[in-house]
Amino acid sequence: MKLILLGAPGAGKGTVAKMLTKLDGSVQISTGDILRGAVAAGTELGKQAQAYMNAGDLVPDELIMGIMAKRLQEDDCKNGFLLDGFPRTIPQAEQLKDMLAKLGIELDMAVNIDVPRDVILDRLTTRRTCSNGSCQAIYNVKSNPPKQEGICDKCGSPVVQREDETEAAISHRLETYNAKTAPLIGFYEKEGMLMTVDATSSEAVIEAIQEKLGATA
């Protein structure tokens, strides 16, 4: 499947994407993971992105479009892809549309995962992430803690609170989402591609997506 996953920070885009990859071999493409990997590796891209990310601001569109133009042409995208955290602005969505048209790729739909704000806030403040840039496993201190406190189950690296997951940065990220990213819902509605799911469990989101794709296939 070829999907865009929309939703506020903490809506569960990453979790849903990871679950969907297991269904049909589609790959998850998370611009946030790519950027954090670049910051951890100290690459030029990482250096340019870091300050924006720590402040909870969006990284400039040109940097993101450069990453995605390359990423979408890699071989593993042929089996389908789940765009997690991209596009994030109207210009990104417009450029993605042109890019896909040129590559002859057609998306199935844009899924808006619509989760209430109090649930989002609770999830973000309790979220912890593996500090290993090539792992980035996600935990939750309440609902899904690592087996050994502070240590990643998968790779043994320290599990930490992301720098952009302090309370101040979180509220700034939510404002940024409302101002810059929420308008994409209207964009994809006009394109006739929007599906909204208002489930709070990731399992229920997956079911709704499967049902919809089954119905249109």
Q: Footprint of ligand ADP on this chain (CB under 6 A)? A: 9, 31-32, 35, 52-53, 56-59, 64, 85-86, 88, 92, 164, 173
154 makes contact with Zn ion (CB under 5 A): yes
Among 19, 100, 135, 182, binds Zn ion (CB under 5 A): 135
Q: Is 117 a catalytic residue?
A: no
Q: Is 127 a catalytic residue?
A: yes
Q: Which is nearer to Zn ion, 5 or 130 (CB)?
A: 130
36 makes contact with Zn ion (CB under 5 A): no
Task: Cis check for the bond before 87: say yes or no (omega within 30 of 0).
Answer: yes
Q: Is 88 a catalytic residue?
A: yes
132 makes contact with Zn ion (CB under 5 A): yes
Q: Which is nearer to ligand ADP, 81 or 86 (CB)?
A: 86
Q: Which is nearer to ligand ADP, 28 or 31 (CB)?
A: 31
Around Cβ 107, how many Cβ atoms within 10 Å? 17
CA separation, residue 207 to residues 2, 73, 111, 155, 192 (Å): 16, 29, 12, 30, 21
Q: Is 13 a catalytic residue?
A: yes
Q: Find which of ligand ADP, Zn ion, none residue 174 binds, CB within 5 to 8 Å per kind.
A: none
Q: How far is CA 148 from the centre of its chain?
A: 27
3-state secondary structure 145-196: CCCECCECCCCCCEEECCHHHCHHHHHHHHHHHHHHHCHHHHHHHHCCCEEE
